[in-house]
């Protein structure tokens, strides 16, 4: 038997490991199973190239709880270690990283996952155990070894009578970590971190129907015919899927395989995904994965933390901001890359050069997939537009390269249910919706019902009206106006249609200068100036007498501030101000001027104003009650 001191100058390494990683001490199981997986895969490689003259077989990793003995066992059938290798890899190599760890982190805050970054994965066992044993036999023809350490720098290393190849780690669980002796807790961790590990993981046994048993028809005690009960057999409970869909070639998968894998990832999700994107690249970095577009809500915050990040099928995190482009954090699925460091902080990941390239690649791949979906089945793409537009619009705003590519598939729906790409829209409306200053005016509505009368007025002139109703559309319009040449967006209720798209011909007012002045004074006496700016406009006599509009710039700035941005304009604290456009050529205006009594004039003005407010959903409460009462009196 050998006794010795682990090669480290700081004697309180184990308490420090526990202290620095206490908030994330559950990762010990991930680390130990990752080591077991590596040992198994290395053996597979050595047998494939003929260097290991042993039978690889069908190895598995087993996790066993000994609750009475307060022990947790992790057993693999990998390449194992000789006593010399234990001495080297456990006592020396790992602890050369330990000193670096201490030097760098002893005075800083906790950095969960830092152990693996310094080659200390095995020693994470001491976060939950007060003694750890390694019983191991190499695939080489050498004696087995038994290493024991109680959390001090002292260890023992002696021969073992283990005869089968592989390594068994025995953790003597500490009093403050007895949760890791509970089957439910270990199962939870195995499913969280190791659900898709490439080597089968056994955790206990389970009973299943015997697949080779054919039930016979038998008679019960009363002589009635019945079917013989199904025979049960006990099998290993393999809790992981070693060959998940993302590790296969897209050509080997059917649409149903992708749907089944989505169910595997999100068993509590009942809606089918809209479509998927299979990522598969081996240069300039390695990356595989499957991303799914779920049905989106209008809420930007509800969707995140659904993409799972893996390194060689080992779960790393589901907080992928900074690794995946932000607009894609609303998607679901899996990304797996050996080039993503397994055990470092997110700030480290975000600064990593390989990670930045991965982010850029994913953006391009998603854009290419969306383009091909649009080209291959436009009708289906249009049908799904409302459920995916929030991701695409967000991407156009946040990623310049995605914005450039999105011209090929981003859609602009109209109130009548037609869908145009930007180029199609431009060609469709250019002749009719270019104003006298040669600017193309793109009209849109955000609510078909609330803005119905304005939409109808625009359509009567042959104008197309888009339906743009996502919460970030104001930001997107701003981006398009600054990127595309000589265009502007205007909501149909931002002004009278002839003001929104100004043509050369102007309508002449029926009123002379004196009548116009009288009307202006009358209106300003009745209409509250803190809410409405009165504008007298000469329009078609059939147009509405009174029309309420809200200036495009002011409303848009308020909307942008509400969804982040636009705050510099200070619009959020401003009272709601509207324009009241009064048609000087309307019959109502003529009636107001012809009416002899002040009281009746006020009544007509209030009625006209309230009708305009009603059409915009601005008439509520007591004012609505008074309007209804006044309207009945006028009918009488």
CA proximity to 33, closest of 173, 180, 197, 172: 197
CA proximity to 542, closest of 466, 628, 462, 456: 456
Report, as an integer, the average pLDDT of 410-423: 95
Three-state DSSP at 200 gives coil
Report, as an integer, the average pLDDT of 85-112: 57
Tokens, residue 425: 């829209």
Of the listed ranges 394-403, 423-432, 602-611, the one predicted with least confidence: 602-611
Whether the CB-CB separation of 229 and 214 falls below 8 Å is answered with: no
What per-residue confidence (pLDDT) applies to 405? 94
CA proximity to 489, closest of 441, 423, 435, 542: 441
Report, as an integer, the average pLDDT of 542-571: 69
Q: What are phi and psi of 5, to 5 degrees?
A: -110, 135
More confident residue, 311 or 572: 311
Do the strands 332-336 and 307-311 form a parallel or antiparallel pair, or are they unpaired?
A: parallel
Whether the CB-CB separation of 418 and 425 falls below 8 Å is answered with: no
Q: How far does CA 138 lie from the centroid of its chain?
A: 45
What per-residue confidence (pLDDT) applies to 350? 61
Do the strands 465-467 and 487-491 form a parallel or antiparallel pair, or are they unpaired?
A: unpaired
More confident residue, 442 or 503: 442
Whether the CB-CB separation of 90 and 5 falls below 8 Å is answered with: no
Give Cβ neighbours of residue 368 (< 8 Å, ≥ 6 apart): 405
- Average of per-residue pLDDT values in the chain: 83
Task: Report how many helices (DSSP H) and strands (DSSP E) the chain contains, helices first.
Answer: 20, 24
Tokens, residue 253: 């998968």
What per-residue confidence (pLDDT) applies to 376? 95
Report, as an integer, the average pLDDT of 503-524: 84
Q: How far does CA 408 lie from the centroid of its chain?
A: 23
Q: What gap in Å lies between CA 453 and CA 598, rounded to an integer?
A: 31
Q: How far does CA 391 lie from the centroid of its chain?
A: 9
What per-residue confidence (pLDDT) applies to 10? 44
Q: What are phi and psi of 208, to 5 degrees?
A: -135, 165
In whole angstroms, how far apart are CA 102 and each of 14, 18, 125, 341, 506? 11, 12, 17, 20, 80
Q: How confident is the model at residue 54 (pLDDT cuts 50, 70, 90)?
A: confident
What per-residue confidence (pLDDT) applies to 567? 43
What 3 state SS string does 364-387 have? HHHHHHHHHHHHHCHHHHHHHHHH
- The conformation of residue 67, written as its DSSP 8-state character, comes to T
Q: What gap in Å lies between CA 178 and CA 570, rounded to an integer?
A: 56
What per-residue confidence (pLDDT) applies to 113? 39
CA proximity to 61, closest of 223, 242, 332: 242
Report, as an integer, the average pLDDT of 38-65: 90
Q: How confident is the model at residue 9 (pLDDT cuts 50, 70, 90)?
A: very low
What per-residue confidence (pLDDT) applies to 352? 66
CA proximity to 305, closest of 323, 289, 288: 323
Q: How confident is the model at residue 493 (pLDDT cuts 50, 70, 90)?
A: confident
CA proximity to 14, closest of 170, 158, 149, 177: 149
Q: Beta-strand (E) ranges in 287-362?
A: 287-293, 307-311, 314-317, 332-336
More confident residue, 149 or 94: 149
Q: What gap in Å lies between CA 410 and CA 386, rounded to an integer?
A: 11
What per-residue confidence (pLDDT) applies to 295? 81
Tokens, residue 391: 């991701």
Report, as an integer, the average pLDDT of 607-613: 88
Burial class (CB in 10 A: 0-12, 13-18, 19+), 443: buried
How many alpha carbons lie under 13 Å from residue 419 in its C-beta half-sphere? 15
CA proximity to 348, closest of 112, 516, 602: 112
What per-residue confidence (pLDDT) applies to 187? 95
Q: What gap in Å lies between CA 483 and CA 212, rounded to an integer?
A: 68
Q: How confident is the model at residue 20 (pLDDT cuts 50, 70, 90)?
A: low
Report, as an integer, the average pLDDT of 393-413: 93
What per-residue confidence (pLDDT) applies to 570? 45
Question: For the segment 523-538, what is each residue's pLDDT rounded down to a tens digit?
Answer: 888 888 888 888 888 8
Greatest mean pLDDT range, 6-20, 30-44, 557-571? 30-44
Q: How confident is the model at residue 111 (pLDDT cuts 50, 70, 90)?
A: very low
More confident residue, 448 or 349: 448
Of the listed ranges 237-241, 534-538, 568-572, the one predicted with least confidence: 568-572
Question: For the segment 251-275, what is each residue's pLDDT rounded down to a tens digit?
Answer: 999 999 999 999 999 888 778 899 8
Question: For the segment 156-201, what is each residue's pLDDT rounded down to a tens digit?
Answer: 999 999 999 999 999 999 999 999 999 999 999 999 889 999 999 9
């Amino acid at each position: 038997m050998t006794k010795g001191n682990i090669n480290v100058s700081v004697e309180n390494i184990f308490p420090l490991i526990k202290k620095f990683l206490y908030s994330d001490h559950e990762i010990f199981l991930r680390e130990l199973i990752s080591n077991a997986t590596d040992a198994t895969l290395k053996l597979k490689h050595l047998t494939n190239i003929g260097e290991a003259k042993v039978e690889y077989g069908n190895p598995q990793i087993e996790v066993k709880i000994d609750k009475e003995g307060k022990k947790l066992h992790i057993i693999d059938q990998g390449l194992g270690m000789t006593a010399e290798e234990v001495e080297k890899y456990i006592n020396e190599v790992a602890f050369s990283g330990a000193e670096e760890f201490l030097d760098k982190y002893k005075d800083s805050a906790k950095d969960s996952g830092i152990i693996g970054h310094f080659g200390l994965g095995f020693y994470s066992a001491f976060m939950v155990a007060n003694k750890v044993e390694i019983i191991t036999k190499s695939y080489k023809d050498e004696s087995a070894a038994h290493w024991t350490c109680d959390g001090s720098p002292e260890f023992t290393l002696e021969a073992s009578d283990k005869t089968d190849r592989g390594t068994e780690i025995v953790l003597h669980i500490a009093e403050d970590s007895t949760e890791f002796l509970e089957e439910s807790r270990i199962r939870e961790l195995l499913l969280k971190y190791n659900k898709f590990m490439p080597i089968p993981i056994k955790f206990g046994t389970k009973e299943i129907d015997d697949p080779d048993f054919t039930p016979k028809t038998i008679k019960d005690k009363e002589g009635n015919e019945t079917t013989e009960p199904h025979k049960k057999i006990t099998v290993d409970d393999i809790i992981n899927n070693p060959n998940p869909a993302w590790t296969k070639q897209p050509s080997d998968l059917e649409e149903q395989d992708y749907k089944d894998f989505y169910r595997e990832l999100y068993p509590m999700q009942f809606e089918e995904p809209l479509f998927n994107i299979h990522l598969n690249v081996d240069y300039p970095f390695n990356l595989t994965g499957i991303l799914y577009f779920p049905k989106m809500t209008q809420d930007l915050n509800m969707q995140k933390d659904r993409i799972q990040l893996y390194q060689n099928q080992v779960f790393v995190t589901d907080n992928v901001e900074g690794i995946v482009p932000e607009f894609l954090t609303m998607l679901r699925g899996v990304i797996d890359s050996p080039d993503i460091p397994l055990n470092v902080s997110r700030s480290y990941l975000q600064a990593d050069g390989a990670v930045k390239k991965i982010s850029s690649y994913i953006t391009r791949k998603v854009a290419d997939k969306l383009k091909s979906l649009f080209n291959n089945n436009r009708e289906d793409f249009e049908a799904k537009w409302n459920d995916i537009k929030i991701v695409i619009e967000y991407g156009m705003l946040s990623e310049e390269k995605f914005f450039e590519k999105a011209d090929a598939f981003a859609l602009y729906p109209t109130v009548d249910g037609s869908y145009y790409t930007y180029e199609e829209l431009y060609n469709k409306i250019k002749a009719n919706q270019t104003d006298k200053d040669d600017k193309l005016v793109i009209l849109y509505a955000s609510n078909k019902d609330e803005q119905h009368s304005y939409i109808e007025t625009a359509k009567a002139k042959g104008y197309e009206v888009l339906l743009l109703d996502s919460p970030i559309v104001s930001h997107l319009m701003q981006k398009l106006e600054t990127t595309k040449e000589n265009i502007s967006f205007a909501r149909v209720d931002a002004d009278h249609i002839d003001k929104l798209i100004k043509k050369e011909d102007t309508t002449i007012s029926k009123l002379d200068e004196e009548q116009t002045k009288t009307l202006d004074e009358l209106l300003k006496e009745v209409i509250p100036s803190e809410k409405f700016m009165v504008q007298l406009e000469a329009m078609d006599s059939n147009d509405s007498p009174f029309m309420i509009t809200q200036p495009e710039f002011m409303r848009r700035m308020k909307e942008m501030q509400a969804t982040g941005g636009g705050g510099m304009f200070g619009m959020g604290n401003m009272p709601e101000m509207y324009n009241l456009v009064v048609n000087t050529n309307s019959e109502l205006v003529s009636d107001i001027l012809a009416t002899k009594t002040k009281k009746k004039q006020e009544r007509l003005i209030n009625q006209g104003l309230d009708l305009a407010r009603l059409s915009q959903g601005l008439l509520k409460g007591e004012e609505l009650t008074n309007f209804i009462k006044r309207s009945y009196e006028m009918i009488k």
